[in-house]
Amino acid sequence: MLRRSLSRLCAGEEKRVGTRTVLVGHRPVADTEAYVAQKFCDNRIVSSKYTLWNFLPKNLFEQFRRIANFYFLIIFLVQVIVDTPTSPVTSGLPLFFVITVTAIKQGYEDWLRHRADNEVNKSNVFVVENAKQVRKESEKIKVGDIVEVKADETFPCDLIFLASSSTDGTCYVTTASLDGESNFKTHYAVRDTTVLCTDEAIDTLTATIECEQPQPDLYKFVGRIIIYGSNQEPVARSLGPENLLLKGATLKNTKKIYGVAVYTGMETKMALNYQGKSQKRSAVEKNLFFRSINAFLIVYLCILLGKATVCTTLKYVWQSNPFNDEPWYNEKTKKERDTFKVLRMFTDFLSFMVLFNFIIPVSMYVTVEMQKFLGSFFISWDKEMYDEEIQEGALVNTSDLNEELGQVEYVFTDKTGTLTENSMEFIECCIDGHKYKDCMAEVDGFSQPDGPLKYYGKAEKSREELFLRALCLCHTVQIKEADQVDGLVAHPERKYTYISSSPDEIALVKGAEKYGFTFLGLENNFMKIRNQKNETEMYQLLHVLNFDPVRRRMSVIVRSSTGKLLLFCKGADSSIFPRVQQEEIQQTKVHVDRNAMDGYRTLCVAFKELTEKEYDKIDRQLNEAKMALQDREEKMAKVFDDTEADMHLIGATAVEDRLQEQLAETIEALHAAGMKVWVLTGDKMETAKSTCYACRLFQTSTELLELTARTVGESDRKEDRLHELLLEYHKKLIQDLPKARGGLKSWTLSQEYGLIIDGSTLSLILNPSQDCGSSNYKSIFLQICLKCTAVLCCRMAPLQKAQIVRMVKNTKGSPITLSIGDGANDVSMILEAHVGIGIKGKEGRQASRNSDYAVPKFKHLRKLLLAHGHLYYVRIAHLVQYFFYKNLCFILPQFLYQFFCGFSQQPLYDAAYLTMYNICFTSLPILAYSLLEQHISIDTLTSDPQLYMKVSDNAMLQWRPFLYWTFLGAFEGLVFFFGVYFLFQNSSLEDNGKVFGNWTFGTIVFTVLVFTVTLKLALDTRFWTWMNHFVIWGSLAFYVFFSFFWGGVIWPFLKQQRMYFVFAHMLTSVSTWLAIILLIFISLFPEILLIVLKNIKEKNHQAGPFDLPVLVSYKRIENGYVKAEDAVTNLAERYPLRIP
């Protein structure tokens, strides 16, 4: 019976899939109402990854999924199983070190998450039970509990707002911890429960809530509350986002509120957002590990296999002589003679693999991780990227992308709030074709005719007042006392300030105030305004048709004190003009177009007078749509569309959004660095084009190609016309382009081209009709875009922004893309790009919350890319190449030694040296280098953007630099071994005739090795700090100290092992000292010679003092701003490359 009585209120709701029913206060409804108890999760927040019991197995499983760790595990097992020449400790200890360091780092991070979870879960809350407040821990809240929250407390779970200490049933919250917005948001209680503002009263409420299942969107919520009264029909009210108080938000300027828990624990929107945020994987890391490093690893793995194969083969060639195979002093046992020869060959092969396996740099992976993690702090600490206005600096959300900042080729940017300040100022307005600027007096306003009018003068007084009333009423602005709002300064002439989520609305309300109509606030659903005669007018607010990016307009329905029903609507001209009388458009359109050409943001204002019958129909349809649990948004959109029809145009407004400081210089620097900048905006074309000229994205000489509704047309032949334009532009840009000399494509055309496209035309290109024969629209369009120096996409929906980014990202060569924006409508393109940058702007913090990096202003992008990105890429590329180089230097003498020991698998180095080479002796200098090195000063990098091109296209991880490092390692390895070998031609290196043994031989080689690879890094260092000095000279000192320690000089109990006194005894020989110094010099001589020649060349050319270490760029440059040949020549003269 009750369900039937509600059917009229809940029309079309027979199917309730994906909803939940909550009993408010756990009080059951009438017996006739069937209710099946549902199970909900508790209110515990779990952000941790591990528990005490699963940490070890889960962490080990995740770490051994990495191919390098798994490889060394196999090597370790081989050493344990097979009789290998080196101890299992030599590979087991480095592997244990890497696994342990990573596990400690991940365990510590997870412990911090556990601690943060406990702080939240154990916090005290008050729950109303039996008309009394009961103190509970937050984790014990259940769905259906009525919770009391007091001022400045955070909401412990997602609550439906029932009542507050305010008589009008409102409260103010801040959601800074959710989306970063610090402004107050107003939330509303259900009007039937606003009076229940005490513990006793709220405990009498009997109601059920039906709402959607948990989903992560912070700004969407669909539900309804059914209130049961004694001897009364149940009352159903709709619930939306304005009734939902989110976990993590903070109550402000309200003494207390009551709310019922609907989502708890891991089902709250805050928890779902943290769960759903996926971490991007660096494209450079993919290059690093899946392209460059994997390719390099394959080469070194082939070298390893080749060495093992050669040594195994030559061992059996050597042993083919019976004397060599079984000398008289080392006869084989019967078991050794009976062993199958193939099996012996296989075990020998494995033994050689183990002996040479240190050529694979396992410790490189942990060093790269530490470099990424520690390096990200330098961006956050950069004082030049700190903004005094908002008291914030740069923020790093993802440290895995640091080096990718140095490889960006395409920059996609929003306009409003990103290129502009998003600080709106009302400039002028137009009423019935008349322009109003400056202050309008009560009697004779300052007006100017605008456009081809038949008469001059001004609009009728009634039309002026109607327009200004529309500005005062059609908005969602709130008024607060100035001293109650943090960070906002009130107007000096008034004791209040305006608060809104949109700066546009505040500018319009202030504009109306300038002309004599002042908005005084909203009280008990009545909007108060003061007119030019200083009289207060009251309007009952009946409905708000909220703004959304699809409709691009908003409306209010109000009732005046005389009973007149009015609908006021404001929005973009493209969404208003089709909905008003066509004869009213022209006189306003001229004004709108002129303002857009001047770079102003324009909005059109319209109204409609409603009859009681029309309003009753609209009211019924809106209430039915609001009550829907399924497809509520679609149903609401249809009602909005039907309501906002057949309106009358009143006029338009012009609001100025100033360009951000240093915007033009930043865009010019990005262009000079070889990046292409695309502007993706929802603004109209004229406004966006004016902004592009102002910020020098378009030059005066740039020829603009348009693919817009104006050039394509609105006829049935628009797809044919689009095809014609695409072919015409394609012919102009691609087919008629003269070929560059020498087969190298020119990076700039003799004529620069810019492309402008709007959202409707883009839809035709990306989604052509089935009967259209031009399925290659997208391919032709993409070729045109890539040939243009700049692209402007206007009237873009958020999804279209992401489509554009995806289209470019997936082109041939997979160019690195970067998206930057400040609002929620930019999140899709920020997530789509390789690198997402959020601006900490005035449209909330959704963009910065979903980005990889957040900066206060667009100008900070210059330093982030040109300095930080450039340096991080050079550092990590040098780190990777250096690891391969030093390991080749390390293992090549071991390979050569086998030729002189009968391929017996005798190790050249002691097990302690094998183990600690990568862990202790050579690890810290390269880590410090990869964090602190500045091969070119930051000031030079930011002032000369063309330097960015020298590292583009993964220039430092190409084959030629890799082969240079490899040959350098091979050369130095040969010098180490044969230099010491020739020293040992005279085996008596002491005055008393004593000879040195094989361990002394290996120790001399190892000493030369450690000093050479460390001093090589010192030669490469251009930016010295105390940290570099400490780790470089400290590592060498530690090696000497450890060798004395290991030799038993400092720690005598070690005298039983084979290295006893070897190092100390070795240093007693003058010949050894001379040999070590000479071999270090010979090894580094090519590097020293290159540095001397470079300095001589720099002095002759008066060039800068810095250069890139071992860098050659092979970027095929297309469509930029200087010719490739000229760019490379100029850069080579100013900053010569060291070419191997």
| DSSP E strands, 360-499 | 395-396, 408-413, 420-431, 434-437, 447-449, 478-481, 496-499
Angle between helices 759-766 and 718-730 (to 10 degrees): 90
In the block, tokens 């005035």 appear at 842
Assess contact for 414 and 552: CB atoms under 8 A. Answer: no
- H-type helices in 731-844, by residue range? 759-766, 777-787, 798-809, 827-832
Q: CA 813, CA 959: separation in Å to the nearest integer? A: 17
Q: DSSP secondary-structure letter at 154?
A: B
Catalytic annotation present for 646: no
Q: CA 50, CA 322: separation in Å to the nearest integer? A: 60
- Cβ neighbors of 333 (< 8 A, separation 6 or more) are none
Q: Nearest Cα to 730, choosing from 699, 792, 776, 676? A: 776
Q: CA 1, CA 30: separation in Å to the nearest integer? A: 11
- Cβ neighbors of 958 (< 8 A, separation 6 or more) are 292, 1112, 1114
What is each CA distance from 1019 to 256, 432, 714, 1109, in whole angstroms?
66, 75, 67, 10
For residue 724, give both structure tokens.
Answer: 């014609």
In the block, tokens 């050569």 appear at 896
Measured in degrees and rounded to the nearest 5, phi and psi for residue 291 equal -120, -70
Q: What is the DSSP string of 532-578?
A: TTS-EEEEEEEEEE---TTT-EEEEEEEETT--EEEEEEE-HHHHGG
For residue 170, give both structure tokens.
Answer: 């409102």
| DSSP E strands, 806-905 | 816-821, 835-839, 853-855
In the block, tokens 């039983």 appear at 1056
In the block, tokens 């602190």 appear at 932
Q: CA 317, CA 311: separation in Å to the nearest integer? A: 10
> Which entry of 145, 348, 400, 414 is annotated as an active-site residue?
414
What counts of helices (H) and strands (E) characterise the chain? 39, 34
Q: Nearest Cα to 206, choosing from 21, 24, 22, 20? A: 24
Q: CA 364, CA 98: separation in Å to the nearest integer? A: 10
Q: CA 1034, CA 1036: separation in Å to the nearest integer? A: 5
For residue 18, give both structure tokens.
Answer: 């994906």
Q: CA 439, CA 441: separation in Å to the nearest integer? A: 6
Q: CA 852, CA 399: separation in Å to the nearest integer? A: 8
Phi-psi category of residue 744: left, alpha or beta, with phi > 0 → left and psi -120 to 50 → alpha:
beta
Q: DSSP secondary-structure letter at 584?
A: G
- Cβ neighbors of 1081 (< 8 A, separation 6 or more) are none
SS3 content of the chain, % helix, strand, coil (to 5): 50, 20, 35
Sequence letter at residue 967 = F
Nearest-10 Cα torsion for 434, 437, 441, 446: -50
Sign, CA torsion 987/988/989/994:
positive
Active site residues: 414
